[in-house]
Amino acid sequence: MTKLEILKETYDYYTQDVNRRGVNGEGCYYRIGDKMCAVGRCMTEKAYFPFRGTVTTYNSEYNLEASLKNEYKGHSVEFWRALQTWHDSNNNWNSTGLTTVGQKDYDDLVKTCERL
């Protein structure tokens, strides 16, 4: 998939049901129960899911590219970090979905994703 396709798919996934986000009171998790973060959603079942940290740290400890499903491979850690940051920001989401700030951040990410 292209970066733009991944962004669109991620946007649709979380805006259809904000409760799919891999977050709880402690922060974001790559996978927690049936909830997943933006990057965790793109990982294989064999990825290390107790992990709860940045994409950069995950990559240095577990190899992000090797943990991704085949259709998501081939993109920079910077791209994944930007996608994760958008997903993680509490300013971007509320209990009913994407906020105005979140929509603006998404639109900005779409405009800049090819440079990442």
- For the chain, what are the domain ranges? 3-115
Q: Kindly provide the residue ranges of all beta strands, DSSP E only, lying in the chain, ordered along the sequence.
A: 23-24, 27-28, 31-32, 35-36, 93-94, 97-98
Tens of pLDDT along 4-40? 999 999 999 999 999 998 877 666 778 888 889 999 9
Tens of pLDDT along 37-79? 999 999 998 887 778 788 999 999 999 999 999 999 999 999 9
Which helix H or strand E contains 106, and what residues bound it? helix 100-112
Q: Give the chain as a DSSP string.
A: --HHHHHHHHHHHHHH-GGGB-EETTEE-SEETTEE-TTGGGB-TTS--S--S-HHHHHHHH-HHHHB-GGG-S--HHHHHHHHHHHH-GGGEETTEE-HHHHHHHHHHHHHGGG-
pTM score, whole prediction: 0.93
